[in-house]
Structure 1
Amino acid sequence: MNAHSEIDATLVRREDDTGIALLVLDRPAARNALSDATIASLHAHLDAIATDKSVRCVVLAAEGPAFCAGHDLKEMTARRADSDGGAAYYLDLMTRCSAMMQAIVALPQPVIAAVEGVATAAGCQLVASCDLAIAGADARFGTPGVNIGLFCSTPMVALSRNVSRKHAMELLLAGELVGAEDAARMGLVNRVVEAGGARAEALALAAKIAAKSTRTVSIGKRAFYAQAEMGLADAYAYAAQVMAQNMMTKDAAEGIGAFVEKRKPIWTDA
Protein backbone atom coordinates (compact mmCIF):
# COMPACT_ATOMS: atom_id res chain seq x y z
CA MET A 1 0.00 0.00 0.00
CA ASN A 2 1.38 3.41 -0.96
CA ALA A 3 1.91 6.13 1.62
CA HIS A 4 -0.61 8.25 -0.27
CA SER A 5 -3.32 5.59 -0.49
CA GLU A 6 -5.61 7.01 2.19
CA ILE A 7 -8.09 9.77 1.37
CA ASP A 8 -9.09 12.13 4.17
CA ALA A 9 -12.22 13.87 2.90
CA THR A 10 -12.01 16.41 5.73
CA LEU A 11 -8.82 17.79 4.16
CA VAL A 12 -9.53 17.36 0.45
CA ARG A 13 -13.06 16.61 -0.67
CA ARG A 14 -14.18 15.38 -4.06
CA GLU A 15 -17.40 16.26 -5.85
CA ASP A 16 -18.24 14.75 -9.25
CA ASP A 17 -20.64 16.14 -11.84
CA THR A 18 -21.02 15.16 -15.49
CA GLY A 19 -17.49 13.97 -16.11
CA ILE A 20 -15.82 16.62 -13.97
CA ALA A 21 -14.14 15.86 -10.65
CA LEU A 22 -13.93 18.88 -8.36
CA LEU A 23 -11.21 18.56 -5.71
CA VAL A 24 -11.45 21.11 -2.92
CA LEU A 25 -8.71 21.85 -0.39
CA ASP A 26 -10.64 22.20 2.86
CA ARG A 27 -8.34 23.50 5.62
CA PRO A 28 -9.39 27.16 5.51
CA ALA A 29 -8.30 27.83 9.09
CA ALA A 30 -4.77 26.72 8.13
CA ARG A 31 -4.92 28.64 4.82
CA ASN A 32 -5.04 25.22 3.11
CA ALA A 33 -1.39 24.59 3.93
CA LEU A 34 0.03 21.36 2.54
CA SER A 35 0.42 19.27 5.67
CA ASP A 36 1.63 15.67 5.46
CA ALA A 37 -1.96 14.45 5.57
CA THR A 38 -3.14 16.97 2.97
CA ILE A 39 -0.40 15.97 0.53
CA ALA A 40 -1.24 12.29 1.05
CA SER A 41 -4.97 12.87 0.62
CA LEU A 42 -4.56 14.94 -2.55
CA HIS A 43 -2.18 12.34 -4.01
CA ALA A 44 -4.64 9.56 -3.17
CA HIS A 45 -7.44 11.45 -4.92
CA LEU A 46 -5.24 11.84 -8.00
CA ASP A 47 -4.42 8.12 -7.99
CA ALA A 48 -8.12 7.27 -7.83
CA ILE A 49 -9.01 9.71 -10.62
CA ALA A 50 -6.23 8.43 -12.90
CA THR A 51 -8.05 5.12 -13.38
CA ASP A 52 -11.59 6.50 -13.18
CA LYS A 53 -13.01 6.39 -16.71
CA SER A 54 -15.97 8.56 -15.67
CA VAL A 55 -13.70 11.56 -15.02
CA ARG A 56 -12.89 13.61 -18.10
CA CYS A 57 -11.46 16.74 -16.46
CA VAL A 58 -10.45 17.88 -12.96
CA VAL A 59 -10.87 21.25 -11.22
CA LEU A 60 -8.75 22.00 -8.15
CA ALA A 61 -10.21 24.67 -5.87
CA ALA A 62 -10.07 25.65 -2.20
CA GLU A 63 -12.29 26.81 0.63
CA GLY A 64 -11.67 30.03 2.52
CA PRO A 65 -9.70 33.20 1.82
CA ALA A 66 -6.51 31.43 0.68
CA PHE A 67 -6.01 28.95 -2.14
CA CYS A 68 -2.91 27.45 -0.54
CA ALA A 69 -0.24 29.05 1.62
CA GLY A 70 2.37 26.39 0.90
CA HIS A 71 3.89 23.88 3.28
CA ASP A 72 2.67 23.66 6.88
CA LEU A 73 5.52 25.52 8.60
CA LYS A 74 4.30 24.66 12.11
CA GLU A 75 4.36 20.96 11.25
CA MET A 76 7.81 21.35 9.71
CA THR A 77 9.22 23.30 12.64
CA ALA A 78 8.07 20.65 15.13
CA ARG A 79 10.35 18.12 13.43
CA ARG A 80 13.44 20.06 14.44
CA ALA A 81 13.08 18.07 17.66
CA ASP A 82 13.96 14.87 15.76
CA SER A 83 17.31 13.30 16.60
CA ASP A 84 18.75 14.50 13.27
CA GLY A 85 17.18 17.94 13.54
CA GLY A 86 14.53 16.96 11.02
CA ALA A 87 16.89 16.36 8.09
CA ALA A 88 15.45 12.98 7.07
CA TYR A 89 11.87 14.20 7.46
CA TYR A 90 12.46 17.34 5.37
CA LEU A 91 13.91 15.34 2.48
CA ASP A 92 11.05 12.85 2.71
CA LEU A 93 8.48 15.68 2.82
CA MET A 94 9.87 17.42 -0.25
CA THR A 95 10.11 14.11 -2.10
CA ARG A 96 6.49 13.22 -1.28
CA CYS A 97 5.22 16.67 -2.23
CA SER A 98 7.20 16.60 -5.49
CA ALA A 99 5.70 13.19 -6.32
CA MET A 100 2.20 14.59 -5.76
CA MET A 101 2.92 17.56 -8.05
CA GLN A 102 4.22 15.20 -10.72
CA ALA A 103 1.07 13.10 -10.36
CA ILE A 104 -0.92 16.13 -11.54
CA VAL A 105 1.25 16.38 -14.66
CA ALA A 106 1.06 12.60 -15.24
CA LEU A 107 -2.71 12.44 -14.77
CA PRO A 108 -4.45 11.43 -18.03
CA GLN A 109 -7.14 14.06 -17.44
CA PRO A 110 -6.41 17.82 -17.62
CA VAL A 111 -6.35 19.64 -14.27
CA ILE A 112 -7.56 23.24 -13.93
CA ALA A 113 -6.69 25.32 -10.86
CA ALA A 114 -9.40 27.73 -9.71
CA VAL A 115 -7.55 30.28 -7.59
CA GLU A 116 -9.04 32.75 -5.14
CA GLY A 117 -6.88 34.44 -2.53
CA VAL A 118 -3.17 33.72 -2.08
CA ALA A 119 -1.22 30.89 -3.66
CA THR A 120 2.24 31.07 -2.19
CA ALA A 121 5.36 28.86 -2.13
CA ALA A 122 4.18 25.25 -2.57
CA GLY A 123 0.72 26.71 -3.19
CA CYS A 124 2.12 28.61 -6.17
CA GLN A 125 3.85 25.38 -7.19
CA LEU A 126 0.47 23.65 -7.08
CA VAL A 127 -1.00 26.21 -9.50
CA ALA A 128 2.02 25.94 -11.80
CA SER A 129 1.74 22.14 -11.80
CA CYS A 130 -1.84 22.25 -13.08
CA ASP A 131 -2.39 22.21 -16.83
CA LEU A 132 -4.55 25.33 -16.76
CA ALA A 133 -5.40 27.98 -14.18
CA ILE A 134 -8.15 30.54 -13.70
CA ALA A 135 -7.66 33.32 -11.15
CA GLY A 136 -10.12 35.55 -9.37
CA ALA A 137 -9.23 39.24 -9.63
CA ASP A 138 -8.10 39.37 -6.00
CA ALA A 139 -5.81 36.34 -6.24
CA ARG A 140 -2.12 36.80 -5.48
CA PHE A 141 0.84 34.58 -6.25
CA GLY A 142 4.41 34.31 -5.07
CA THR A 143 7.35 32.30 -3.81
CA PRO A 144 8.26 34.24 -0.63
CA GLY A 145 10.43 31.56 0.96
CA VAL A 146 13.55 33.71 0.53
CA ASN A 147 12.04 36.13 3.05
CA ILE A 148 12.19 33.50 5.81
CA GLY A 149 15.50 31.92 4.85
CA LEU A 150 14.03 29.00 2.93
CA PHE A 151 14.45 29.43 -0.83
CA CYS A 152 11.50 27.99 -2.80
CA SER A 153 13.62 25.45 -4.65
CA THR A 154 10.95 22.81 -5.30
CA PRO A 155 8.29 25.40 -6.29
CA MET A 156 10.98 26.77 -8.63
CA VAL A 157 10.82 23.60 -10.74
CA ALA A 158 7.16 24.03 -11.67
CA LEU A 159 7.34 27.83 -11.78
CA SER A 160 10.32 27.91 -14.16
CA ARG A 161 8.45 25.59 -16.53
CA ASN A 162 5.51 28.02 -16.73
CA VAL A 163 6.96 31.52 -16.88
CA SER A 164 10.08 33.09 -18.37
CA ARG A 165 13.36 32.82 -16.48
CA LYS A 166 13.45 36.51 -15.66
CA HIS A 167 9.93 36.42 -14.20
CA ALA A 168 10.67 33.25 -12.27
CA MET A 169 13.89 34.63 -10.82
CA GLU A 170 12.23 37.89 -9.78
CA LEU A 171 9.50 35.99 -7.93
CA LEU A 172 12.06 33.69 -6.30
CA LEU A 173 14.64 36.34 -5.39
CA ALA A 174 12.43 39.27 -4.39
CA GLY A 175 9.90 37.12 -2.57
CA GLU A 176 7.09 39.54 -3.36
CA LEU A 177 3.53 38.63 -4.29
CA VAL A 178 2.10 39.56 -7.67
CA GLY A 179 -1.54 40.16 -8.52
CA ALA A 180 -3.73 38.08 -10.80
CA GLU A 181 -3.25 40.30 -13.85
CA ASP A 182 0.55 40.12 -13.52
CA ALA A 183 0.30 36.34 -13.07
CA ALA A 184 -1.68 36.16 -16.32
CA ARG A 185 0.84 38.38 -18.09
CA MET A 186 3.64 36.08 -16.93
CA GLY A 187 1.79 32.99 -18.09
CA LEU A 188 1.23 31.47 -14.65
CA VAL A 189 -2.55 31.61 -15.13
CA ASN A 190 -4.64 31.53 -18.29
CA ARG A 191 -7.02 34.34 -17.46
CA VAL A 192 -8.51 36.48 -14.72
CA VAL A 193 -12.21 36.71 -13.85
CA GLU A 194 -14.10 38.73 -11.28
CA ALA A 195 -13.26 37.92 -7.66
CA GLY A 196 -15.17 34.88 -6.52
CA GLY A 197 -15.76 33.67 -10.06
CA ALA A 198 -12.72 31.46 -10.60
CA ARG A 199 -14.40 28.16 -9.67
CA ALA A 200 -17.40 28.73 -11.95
CA GLU A 201 -15.14 29.76 -14.84
CA ALA A 202 -12.88 26.74 -14.28
CA LEU A 203 -15.88 24.41 -14.23
CA ALA A 204 -17.17 25.97 -17.47
CA LEU A 205 -13.78 25.42 -19.11
CA ALA A 206 -13.71 21.88 -17.74
CA ALA A 207 -17.10 21.21 -19.33
CA LYS A 208 -15.73 22.25 -22.73
CA ILE A 209 -12.77 19.90 -22.33
CA ALA A 210 -15.00 17.10 -21.03
CA ALA A 211 -16.93 17.25 -24.31
CA LYS A 212 -13.82 16.14 -26.22
CA SER A 213 -12.55 12.61 -26.75
CA THR A 214 -10.75 11.56 -23.55
CA ARG A 215 -8.47 9.32 -25.59
CA THR A 216 -7.40 12.25 -27.73
CA VAL A 217 -7.00 14.61 -24.76
CA SER A 218 -4.90 12.13 -22.78
CA ILE A 219 -2.65 11.47 -25.78
CA GLY A 220 -2.16 15.20 -26.24
CA LYS A 221 -1.49 15.98 -22.59
CA ARG A 222 1.11 13.26 -22.26
CA ALA A 223 2.81 14.31 -25.49
CA PHE A 224 2.85 18.00 -24.52
CA TYR A 225 4.93 17.43 -21.39
CA ALA A 226 7.16 14.82 -23.00
CA GLN A 227 8.14 16.99 -25.98
CA ALA A 228 8.69 20.03 -23.78
CA GLU A 229 11.70 18.31 -22.20
CA MET A 230 13.26 17.43 -25.59
CA GLY A 231 15.44 19.21 -28.10
CA LEU A 232 13.70 20.53 -31.21
CA ALA A 233 14.54 17.66 -33.59
CA ASP A 234 13.73 14.99 -31.00
CA ALA A 235 10.48 16.75 -30.14
CA TYR A 236 9.36 16.77 -33.77
CA ALA A 237 10.33 13.12 -34.26
CA TYR A 238 8.42 12.14 -31.13
CA ALA A 239 5.37 14.27 -32.00
CA ALA A 240 5.25 12.80 -35.51
CA GLN A 241 5.04 9.29 -34.03
CA VAL A 242 2.36 10.37 -31.57
CA MET A 243 0.28 12.02 -34.25
CA ALA A 244 0.55 9.03 -36.58
CA GLN A 245 -0.55 6.73 -33.74
CA ASN A 246 -3.35 9.13 -32.81
CA MET A 247 -4.56 9.01 -36.41
CA MET A 248 -5.15 5.27 -36.01
CA THR A 249 -7.57 5.66 -33.08
CA LYS A 250 -11.30 5.17 -33.51
CA ASP A 251 -12.04 8.65 -32.24
CA ALA A 252 -9.76 10.23 -34.84
CA ALA A 253 -11.58 8.34 -37.58
CA GLU A 254 -14.93 9.38 -36.10
CA GLY A 255 -13.95 13.00 -35.58
CA ILE A 256 -12.51 13.48 -39.06
CA GLY A 257 -15.47 11.66 -40.58
CA ALA A 258 -17.90 13.84 -38.65
CA PHE A 259 -16.09 16.98 -39.78
CA VAL A 260 -16.21 15.90 -43.44
CA GLU A 261 -19.86 14.92 -43.12
CA LYS A 262 -20.71 18.12 -41.23
CA ARG A 263 -22.15 16.36 -38.19
CA LYS A 264 -21.37 16.19 -34.47
CA PRO A 265 -18.89 13.43 -33.58
CA ILE A 266 -19.88 10.61 -31.24
CA TRP A 267 -16.87 9.78 -29.09
CA THR A 268 -16.22 6.28 -27.83
CA ASP A 269 -12.95 7.30 -26.14
CA ALA A 270 -11.11 4.65 -28.10
Structure 2
Amino acid sequence: MTETPVLLTREGPVARLTLNRPQRRNAMNNAMGDALDAALDALAADTEVRVVVLSGAGGHFCAGLDLTEVGASGASEAERAAAQQARNHRTGQRFVRLSALPQVVIAAVQGAAHAGGLGWVCSADFAIATQDARFCAPEVRRGLVPAQILPWLVRRMGRSAAMRMTLRGDVIDAAEAGRLGLVHQVVADASALDAAVAAIVADLRQGAPKALAETKKLIAALGPLSPAGYAEAGAEAFAKCAAGPEAKEGIAAFQEKRAPNWAS
Protein backbone atom coordinates (compact mmCIF):
# COMPACT_ATOMS: atom_id res chain seq x y z
CA MET A 1 0.00 0.00 0.00
CA THR A 2 1.34 3.44 -0.95
CA GLU A 3 1.98 5.65 2.04
CA THR A 4 0.23 9.02 2.22
CA PRO A 5 2.74 10.89 4.37
CA VAL A 6 0.65 14.03 4.88
CA LEU A 7 -3.11 14.36 5.17
CA LEU A 8 -4.86 17.66 4.50
CA THR A 9 -8.58 17.82 5.29
CA ARG A 10 -11.00 20.70 5.71
CA GLU A 11 -13.88 21.15 8.13
CA GLY A 12 -15.47 24.46 7.18
CA PRO A 13 -12.96 27.21 8.02
CA VAL A 14 -10.60 24.79 9.77
CA ALA A 15 -7.94 22.76 7.91
CA ARG A 16 -6.28 19.79 9.57
CA LEU A 17 -2.73 19.07 8.48
CA THR A 18 -1.66 15.66 9.77
CA LEU A 19 1.82 14.16 9.58
CA ASN A 20 1.08 10.57 8.65
CA ARG A 21 3.98 8.18 9.11
CA PRO A 22 2.89 6.66 12.42
CA GLN A 23 5.11 3.61 12.02
CA ARG A 24 8.11 5.99 12.15
CA ARG A 25 6.62 8.35 14.76
CA ASN A 26 6.01 10.74 11.85
CA ALA A 27 9.70 11.22 11.14
CA MET A 28 10.27 13.42 8.10
CA ASN A 29 11.55 11.74 4.95
CA ASN A 30 11.80 13.12 1.42
CA ALA A 31 8.30 11.97 0.50
CA MET A 32 6.82 13.74 3.51
CA GLY A 33 8.77 16.88 2.61
CA ASP A 34 7.34 16.89 -0.91
CA ALA A 35 3.83 16.32 0.44
CA LEU A 36 4.25 19.15 2.95
CA ASP A 37 5.34 21.50 0.18
CA ALA A 38 2.17 20.70 -1.74
CA ALA A 39 0.00 21.14 1.37
CA LEU A 40 1.61 24.47 2.23
CA ASP A 41 1.07 25.64 -1.35
CA ALA A 42 -2.61 24.74 -1.08
CA LEU A 43 -3.05 26.45 2.29
CA ALA A 44 -1.26 29.63 1.22
CA ALA A 45 -3.74 29.98 -1.66
CA ASP A 46 -6.86 29.03 0.33
CA THR A 47 -9.00 32.07 1.14
CA GLU A 48 -11.72 30.08 2.91
CA VAL A 49 -9.65 28.39 5.62
CA ARG A 50 -9.00 30.54 8.69
CA VAL A 51 -7.30 28.11 11.07
CA VAL A 52 -4.81 25.26 10.49
CA VAL A 53 -4.46 22.52 13.09
CA LEU A 54 -1.14 20.66 12.75
CA SER A 55 -0.85 17.25 14.41
CA GLY A 56 0.70 13.81 14.03
CA ALA A 57 -0.98 10.47 13.46
CA GLY A 58 -0.73 7.51 15.80
CA GLY A 59 -0.16 9.28 19.12
CA HIS A 60 3.08 11.06 18.21
CA PHE A 61 3.66 14.54 16.80
CA CYS A 62 6.97 14.30 14.92
CA ALA A 63 10.22 12.51 15.77
CA GLY A 64 12.25 14.81 13.53
CA LEU A 65 14.35 13.81 10.56
CA ASP A 66 14.24 10.22 9.37
CA LEU A 67 17.85 9.26 10.09
CA THR A 68 17.73 6.32 7.70
CA GLU A 69 17.90 8.87 4.88
CA VAL A 70 20.68 10.87 6.51
CA GLY A 71 22.83 7.77 6.65
CA ALA A 72 21.89 6.55 3.19
CA SER A 73 24.75 5.94 0.80
CA GLY A 74 25.30 8.01 -2.32
CA ALA A 75 27.57 8.24 -5.31
CA SER A 76 30.26 10.27 -3.54
CA GLU A 77 30.88 12.09 -0.28
CA ALA A 78 30.58 15.47 -2.02
CA GLU A 79 27.26 14.53 -3.59
CA ARG A 80 25.93 13.24 -0.27
CA ALA A 81 26.96 16.46 1.45
CA ALA A 82 25.31 18.57 -1.25
CA ALA A 83 22.10 16.56 -0.95
CA GLN A 84 22.05 16.94 2.83
CA GLN A 85 22.69 20.68 2.57
CA ALA A 86 19.83 21.15 0.12
CA ARG A 87 17.53 18.98 2.20
CA ASN A 88 18.29 20.82 5.43
CA HIS A 89 17.70 24.17 3.77
CA ARG A 90 14.34 22.99 2.39
CA THR A 91 13.32 21.83 5.86
CA GLY A 92 14.05 25.26 7.28
CA GLN A 93 12.05 26.93 4.54
CA ARG A 94 9.04 24.78 5.40
CA PHE A 95 9.05 26.14 8.94
CA VAL A 96 9.18 29.66 7.48
CA ARG A 97 6.29 28.89 5.17
CA LEU A 98 4.14 27.44 7.96
CA SER A 99 4.74 30.52 10.09
CA ALA A 100 3.93 32.83 7.16
CA LEU A 101 0.57 31.25 6.35
CA PRO A 102 -2.28 33.77 6.46
CA GLN A 103 -4.23 31.37 8.65
CA VAL A 104 -3.60 30.99 12.38
CA VAL A 105 -1.72 27.74 12.99
CA ILE A 106 -2.24 25.57 16.09
CA ALA A 107 0.19 22.72 16.84
CA ALA A 108 -1.63 19.94 18.72
CA VAL A 109 1.14 17.87 20.27
CA GLN A 110 1.03 14.33 21.61
CA GLY A 111 3.90 11.92 22.23
CA ALA A 112 7.28 12.70 20.69
CA ALA A 113 8.16 16.17 19.42
CA HIS A 114 11.86 15.78 18.76
CA ALA A 115 14.49 17.56 16.65
CA GLY A 116 12.76 18.86 13.52
CA GLY A 117 9.44 18.26 15.25
CA LEU A 118 10.36 21.19 17.49
CA GLY A 119 10.55 23.34 14.37
CA TRP A 120 6.88 22.64 13.69
CA VAL A 121 5.96 23.29 17.32
CA CYS A 122 7.73 26.67 17.36
CA SER A 123 6.73 27.88 13.90
CA ALA A 124 3.05 27.40 14.77
CA ASP A 125 1.26 30.36 16.32
CA PHE A 126 -0.08 28.30 19.22
CA ALA A 127 1.22 25.04 20.70
CA ILE A 128 -0.92 22.86 22.96
CA ALA A 129 0.45 19.60 24.38
CA THR A 130 -0.91 16.64 26.28
CA GLN A 131 0.85 15.86 29.55
CA ASP A 132 2.41 12.73 28.02
CA ALA A 133 4.16 14.76 25.28
CA ARG A 134 7.94 14.71 25.30
CA PHE A 135 10.31 17.25 23.75
CA CYS A 136 13.94 16.88 22.77
CA ALA A 137 16.63 18.42 20.56
CA PRO A 138 18.99 15.42 20.39
CA GLU A 139 21.04 16.38 17.33
CA VAL A 140 24.38 16.75 19.14
CA ARG A 141 23.94 13.22 20.49
CA ARG A 142 23.74 12.00 16.89
CA GLY A 143 26.78 13.93 15.69
CA LEU A 144 24.54 16.51 13.99
CA VAL A 145 23.58 20.15 14.61
CA PRO A 146 20.08 21.64 15.18
CA ALA A 147 20.66 24.08 12.34
CA GLN A 148 17.17 24.99 11.15
CA ILE A 149 15.24 24.61 14.41
CA LEU A 150 17.58 26.77 16.49
CA PRO A 151 16.22 30.20 15.44
CA TRP A 152 12.67 29.01 16.15
CA LEU A 153 13.61 27.71 19.59
CA VAL A 154 15.34 31.00 20.40
CA ARG A 155 12.33 33.00 19.25
CA ARG A 156 9.88 30.88 21.25
CA MET A 157 11.84 30.25 24.45
CA GLY A 158 14.72 32.71 24.48
CA ARG A 159 18.42 32.04 23.94
CA SER A 160 19.13 30.61 27.40
CA ALA A 161 16.41 27.95 27.28
CA ALA A 162 17.25 27.10 23.67
CA MET A 163 20.89 26.63 24.63
CA ARG A 164 19.85 24.34 27.47
CA MET A 165 17.80 22.14 25.13
CA THR A 166 20.20 21.96 22.20
CA LEU A 167 23.45 21.43 24.11
CA ARG A 168 22.14 19.03 26.73
CA GLY A 169 20.00 17.07 24.26
CA ASP A 170 17.88 15.37 26.93
CA VAL A 171 14.14 14.75 26.94
CA ILE A 172 11.87 17.15 28.81
CA ASP A 173 8.26 16.54 29.72
CA ALA A 174 5.26 18.68 28.85
CA ALA A 175 5.21 20.44 32.22
CA GLU A 176 8.81 21.59 31.75
CA ALA A 177 8.05 22.58 28.15
CA GLY A 178 5.24 24.76 29.44
CA ARG A 179 7.48 26.32 32.10
CA LEU A 180 10.12 27.14 29.49
CA GLY A 181 7.55 28.64 27.12
CA LEU A 182 7.97 26.00 24.43
CA VAL A 183 4.22 25.30 24.52
CA HIS A 184 1.41 27.62 25.54
CA GLN A 185 -0.82 25.12 27.33
CA VAL A 186 -0.60 21.59 28.73
CA VAL A 187 -3.73 19.45 28.99
CA ALA A 188 -4.49 16.04 30.45
CA ASP A 189 -5.13 13.84 27.42
CA ALA A 190 -6.25 13.62 23.79
CA SER A 191 -9.85 14.51 24.65
CA ALA A 192 -8.73 17.61 26.54
CA LEU A 193 -6.44 18.49 23.63
CA ASP A 194 -9.38 18.44 21.23
CA ALA A 195 -11.33 20.65 23.62
CA ALA A 196 -8.46 23.13 24.00
CA VAL A 197 -8.02 23.36 20.22
CA ALA A 198 -11.77 23.87 19.80
CA ALA A 199 -11.70 26.70 22.36
CA ILE A 200 -8.90 28.49 20.48
CA VAL A 201 -10.71 28.01 17.18
CA ALA A 202 -13.88 29.49 18.70
CA ASP A 203 -11.91 32.55 19.88
CA LEU A 204 -10.21 32.96 16.51
CA ARG A 205 -13.53 32.85 14.68
CA GLN A 206 -14.47 36.02 16.57
CA GLY A 207 -11.59 37.78 14.81
CA ALA A 208 -11.85 39.12 11.28
CA PRO A 209 -9.82 36.93 8.86
CA LYS A 210 -7.91 39.76 7.18
CA ALA A 211 -7.24 41.47 10.50
CA LEU A 212 -5.80 38.23 11.90
CA ALA A 213 -3.58 37.76 8.83
CA GLU A 214 -2.37 41.36 8.95
CA THR A 215 -1.64 41.06 12.68
CA LYS A 216 0.54 38.02 11.97
CA LYS A 217 2.41 40.02 9.33
CA LEU A 218 2.99 42.88 11.75
CA ILE A 219 4.34 40.55 14.42
CA ALA A 220 6.72 39.04 11.84
CA ALA A 221 7.82 42.55 10.83
CA LEU A 222 8.96 43.33 14.39
CA GLY A 223 12.23 41.57 13.66
CA PRO A 224 13.78 38.86 11.49
CA LEU A 225 13.84 35.29 12.70
CA SER A 226 17.60 35.10 12.14
CA PRO A 227 20.40 37.16 10.54
CA ALA A 228 20.69 37.26 6.77
CA GLY A 229 22.43 34.17 5.48
CA TYR A 230 21.78 32.09 8.59
CA ALA A 231 19.62 29.46 6.84
CA GLU A 232 22.30 28.80 4.24
CA ALA A 233 25.09 28.72 6.83
CA GLY A 234 23.03 26.38 9.00
CA ALA A 235 22.40 24.03 6.11
CA GLU A 236 26.11 24.01 5.30
CA ALA A 237 26.99 23.23 8.93
CA PHE A 238 24.43 20.43 9.02
CA ALA A 239 25.76 18.92 5.79
CA LYS A 240 29.33 19.10 7.06
CA CYS A 241 28.41 17.25 10.23
CA ALA A 242 26.11 14.79 8.46
CA ALA A 243 28.94 13.76 6.14
CA GLY A 244 31.45 13.38 8.96
CA PRO A 245 32.49 10.48 11.21
CA GLU A 246 30.59 11.71 14.26
CA ALA A 247 27.24 11.51 12.47
CA LYS A 248 28.10 8.06 11.14
CA GLU A 249 28.84 6.86 14.67
CA GLY A 250 25.98 8.78 16.29
CA ILE A 251 23.33 7.51 13.90
CA ALA A 252 24.65 3.95 14.12
CA ALA A 253 24.59 4.14 17.93
CA PHE A 254 21.03 5.44 17.88
CA GLN A 255 19.87 2.69 15.54
CA GLU A 256 21.69 0.03 17.54
CA LYS A 257 20.38 1.43 20.85
CA ARG A 258 23.82 1.91 22.37
CA ALA A 259 25.94 4.82 23.56
CA PRO A 260 28.16 6.48 20.92
CA ASN A 261 31.93 6.06 21.35
CA TRP A 262 32.39 9.64 22.62
CA ALA A 263 30.03 8.97 25.56
CA SER A 264 32.24 6.29 27.09
Which TM bucket (shorter chain)? Answer: 0.7 to 0.9
The one of 125, 128, 139 aligned to 1:145: 139
2:222 matched residue in structure 1: 227
Q: Compared with structure 1, are the counterparts of its residues 82 and 28 closer, same or farther at alpha carbon in structure 2 (3 Å cutoff)?
A: farther
Paired residue for 1:102? 96
Distance, in Å, in 2 between the alignment partners of 1:56 and 1:9 is 28
Contact 1:34/1:70, CA 8 A, preserved across alignment? yes
Match of 1:67 among 61, 78, 88: 61
Q: Which amino acid aligns with 2:197?
A: A
Conserved? CA contact 2:89–2:148, under 8 Å: no
Instruction: Normalising by structure 2, report the TM-score.
Output: 0.80
Whether the aligned pair in 2 keeps the contact of 1:162 and 1:188 (CA below 8 Å) is yes
Q: 1:210 aligns with which of 205, 214, 232?
A: 205
Structure ID, larger Rg:
1
Equivalent of residue 160 in structure 1, options 113, 133, 154: 154
Q: TM-score, normalised by structure 1?
A: 0.78
1:154 is paired with a residue of what secondary structure? coil
Unaligned runs of 5+ in 1: 1-7, 231-270
Q: Could you say what secondary structure the match of 2:108 adopts?
A: strand
- Provide the rounded CA distance (Å) in 1 between the counterparts of 2:119 and 2:10: 25
CA distance in 1, matches of 2:123, 2:169: 19
Tell me: CA distance 1:200–1:76, structure 2 relative to 1, closer, same or farther (3 Å): farther
Give unmatched runs, 5+ long, in structure 2: 226-264
After TM superposition, give the deviation of residue 9 of structure 1 in Å. 8.1
State the AA in 2 paired with 1:185: R
Give the AA of the match of 2:214: I
CA distance in 2, matches of 1:69, 1:79: 22
**1:112 maps to which of 100, 106, 112:** 106
Give 1:86 shift.
0.8
Number of paired residues?
223
Q: Secondary structure at the residue paired with 1:104? A: helix
CA distance in 2, matches of 1:68, 1:82: 30
Q: Look up the match of 2:117.
A: 123
